[in-house]
Amino acid sequence: MDLDFVSAHAERPATALTRRDVARALLAVPSGVALVALPDLRREMMAAGNPLSVTFWDTARSTLSAIESGTATVGDVQRWLEASGTEPILLTPSYFVWPEEDERGPIAEEMYARFVAYLEQHVEGGEIDPDELASGNPAARAAYEELQERWLNTTLPDGRVPMLVVSDEQDEELFAAWDEEESYALAELRRILAELPKQPEVPEPELRHAAARLREMLVFPGYPGNVLRACAGFPGGLIPEDDRELWLTVVAGIAGPISDLDEEVAEEHEELSHEEAVLAALCAIHHADWLAAVAALARLGPGVLASPERIAQLIAESEDITVDMDDPDDLDTTETLFTHVTGLWSYLGIVDEDDVLTPLGWWGLPAALERAWSPED
């Protein structure tokens, strides 16, 4: 490692290298290599007319030594890098976090580069003193954080607000990944259902009974009606008149809740209410877990045990998904999540009082899951 390496890594000539450039290059190689190269690198920087500061080189040596000895934490290293004066802080006071370098989209890349250039201007102008940051001056650190927070929330000449456009891009990427995962899960579900030796038929009497009971629950406040209304997200509060449409909409909503609880319900509790805990659990279940559970129940048919514990085992043993649940804690977590699911299923006639899958559940679960994952028209 030498000055040519640092310049190539930063894509800058030696005379333009910043503390951040050198720090990132030092961290890009094994700490032992960086420590050995440090004295020669310092001399090369001085010869190039860009000596940096004594404080920088001292903190570089101490940080690299701590890394080499295994005593440095990730936070210690990040803090040293931020003390360069031109490294965006990992977590702002308003809890904004930049995406990881290999996960940044075009907008995040642009804003990050703009921001680093902005910080470099402030270092050159003397508004940021890296040596004060490196020495742990609380006032300097607070000013550094405030300056970063202010830039992220300031409208650029083109009308964009950095924090907002980066967050929006992350949301779009998240939604795109979600849609891709859902599309794949839907295709797998349809493949599995098509291979069933016997296709389930609609048990009309059971469906009518379950729909009538469901209509009664949806009218009254409180659990489970409020959770089922949130799951279904009936537009305008209008409940479908058709029994099959009503029942499938609600069951599909359990696999993908449409809306939140009524505001008055959520405001009744300062802490997480039972209803909120149920919705949170439903939202935490992955597509793969739903696919594995419903596929297994569809193959096994009515009369099979569908308790939370059994569902967790079915998911762990499933060959339809790639899942690693060797850790007992993973099984326990899945079981806990599906405890809320089977509780709602019991109200809808999907399982009976003994958590056994009913003919209605055998027909309805795959149909509802397919509906939940199908793109809206």
- How would you write the chain as a 3-class SS string? CCHHHHHHHHCCCHHHCCHHHHHHHHHCCCHHHHHHHHHHHHHHHHHCCCCCCHHHHHHHHHHHHHHHHCCCCHHHHHHHHHCCCCCCCCCCCCCCCCCCHHHCCHHHHHHHHHHHHHHHHHHHCCCCCHHHHHCCCHHHHHHHHHHHHHHHCCCCCCCCCHHHHHHHHHHHHHHHHHHHHHHHHHHHHHHHHHCCCCCCCCCHHHHHHHHHHHHHHHHCCCCCHHHHHHHHCCHHHCCCCCHHHHHHHHHHHHHCCCCCCCHHHHCCCCCCCHHHHHHHHHHHCCHHHHHHHHHHHHHHCCCCECCHHHHHHHHHHCCCCCCCCCCHHHHHHHHHHHHHHHHHHHHCCCECCCCEECHHHHHHHHHHHHHHHCCCC
* Amino acid in position 66: A
Write down which residue in 112, 147, 167 finishes a domain. 167
Mark whether 210 and 351 lie in a shared domain: yes
Same domain, 130 and 229: no
Task: Look at residue 259 and tell me whether its pLDDT is greater than 90.
Answer: no
Same domain, 38 and 135: yes
Residue 229 lies in a domain: yes
pLDDT at 253: 92
Q: For the whole prediction, is pTM greater than 0.85?
A: no
Q: What pLDDT, on the 0 to 100 scale, is given for residue 264?
A: 38
Q: Is the pLDDT of residue 267 over 70?
A: no
Residue 149 or 265, more confident? 149
Residues 349, 208 share a domain: yes
Please indicate, yes or no, if residue 350 is contained in any of the structural domains.
yes
**Residue 177 domain-assigned?**
no
pLDDT category at 260 given cuts 50, 70, 90 is: low
146 lies in the same domain as 219 = no
pLDDT beyond 80 at 367: yes
Whether residues 341 and 255 fall in one domain: yes
Inside any domain, residue 220: yes
Grade residue 323 by pLDDT with cuts at 50, 70 and 90.
low
Based on the fold, state whether residues 259 and 366 are members of the same structural domain: yes
**Residue 191, in any domain of the structure:** no
- pLDDT band at residue 103, thresholds of 50, 70 and 90? confident
94 lies in some domain: yes
Are the CB atoms for 230 and 259 separated by under 8 Å? Answer: yes
Q: CA-CA distance, 38 to 42, in Å (whole number)?
A: 6
pLDDT at 322 over 80: no
Residue 179 lies in a domain: no
Residues 354, 256, single domain; the answer is: yes
% of the chain at pLDDT higher than 90: 68
Q: Residue 233: which pLDDT band, with cuts at 50, 70 and 90?
A: confident
Answer yes or no: do 155 and 87 share one domain. yes
- Average pLDDT on 346-372 reads 95
Q: Please check whether residue 178 lies inside any domain of the structure.
A: no
Does residue 232 share a domain with residue 162? no
Per residue in 220-232, pLDDT (tens digit) is 888 898 899 888 8
The tokens describing 188, both together, are 């797998």
Range of the domain at 348: 204-373
* In the chain, % of residues over pLDDT 70: 93
Q: Are residues 146 and 237 in the same domain?
A: no
Q: Which of 117, 150, 167 is the last residue of a domain?
A: 167
* 73, amino acid identity: T
171-188: average pLDDT: 87
Same domain? 161 vs 214: no
Per the structure, the count of domains in the chain is 2
**C-alpha distances in Å from residue 85, one per residue of 53, 54, 363:** 13, 15, 62
Single out the residue in 145, 167, 189 at which a domain terminates: 167
Asked if residues 20 and 81 have their Cβ atoms less than 8 Å apart, the reply is yes
When comparing pLDDT for 177 and 236, which is higher?
177
Contact status, residue 358 vs residue 301, Cβ threshold 8 Å: no
CA 33 to each of CA 56, 93, 183, 287: distance values in angstroms, whole numbers, following the listed order: 18, 35, 47, 45
Q: What is the structure's pLDDT at 235?
A: 64
**List of residues 6+ apart from 111 with CB closer than 8 A:** 162, 165, 166
